[in-house]
Chain A
């Protein structure tokens, strides 16, 4: 069952691009990679999800290399409001009698400075 490793904290300044990398060496063939954002005293919020290569939406991009053992969340031109904890999540769906589990990483505290 794939678990994840990501940096505990990162600092950036407004207007910069931030890249947060997550390692998931034991990712399985059918696992998907999902990133969530969490502000204090709130539940996490979905950012982006992908299986391979590159996925982009209105708020972020997700880069996944061919071996899928890592992934990088890219936040373009961050602002103060992007200060939050970012979770990398790798999950399988489980089949038959196998119970699927959803593992969150420990999260990366991103702090954006003015």
Chain B
């Protein structure tokens, strides 16, 4: 069974731009969650989607948004990029939600210049 895939793996943007990251969950998994990882703040939960609806949300500004498609694939968008948005963005999928074992993808390394 294929694991969680994320595209692109690396991305370089400049301040003020926007970016869209993609995540394909493990087949059969309906929950997709997103995380931001930085050296200073560690691993922080962004949000979770289930059946195309945002079900849980962390403490991030509205510039961070996401969506989930009917095939459970998910995208995360960050608008008006700031230098502090440079991070590793991880996506995880699970069968039913945050209570289940999360399977993480390799992440997308975003650098904002």
Q: CB within 8 Å of B: which residues of A?
A: 32, 34, 36, 38, 41-46, 49, 87, 91, 93-94, 99-107
A106 to B105, CA, bound (A): 20
A residues less than 8 Å from B56 (CB atoms) = 94, 99-102
User: B64 near A: Cβ within 8 Å?
Assistant: no
B residues less than 8 Å from A45 (CB atoms) = 104
- The 3 tightest CB contacts between A and B, nearest first, are A43-B104, A104-B43, A46-B101
B45 in contact with A101 (CB, 8 Å): yes
Provide a sorted-by-A list of 25 A–B residue pairs whose CB atoms are within 8 angstroms.
A38-B43, A41-B106, A43-B105, A44-B92, A46-B103, A91-B99, A93-B97, A93-B98, A93-B99, A94-B56, A99-B57, A100-B55, A100-B56, A100-B98, A102-B45, A102-B56, A102-B58, A102-B98, A103-B45, A104-B35, A104-B42, A104-B45, A106-B42, A107-B42, A107-B43
A46 in contact with B42 (CB, 8 Å): no
**Beyond known contacts A44-B104, A87-B43, A106-B42: 18 more, CB 8 A cutoff:** A41-B107, A43-B4, A43-B90, A43-B92, A43-B104, A43-B105, A43-B106, A44-B90, A44-B102, A45-B104, A46-B102, A91-B98, A91-B99, A93-B99, A94-B55, A99-B55, A99-B56, A107-B43
Q: What total of chain B residues lie within 8 Å of the partner, measured CB to CB? A: 24
B residues less than 8 Å from A42 (CB atoms) = 104, 106-107
A residues less than 8 Å from B107 (CB atoms) = 41-43
The chain B residue with its CB closest to the CB of A93 is B99
User: B27 near A: Cβ within 8 Å?
Assistant: no
A residues less than 8 Å from B106 (CB atoms) = 41-43
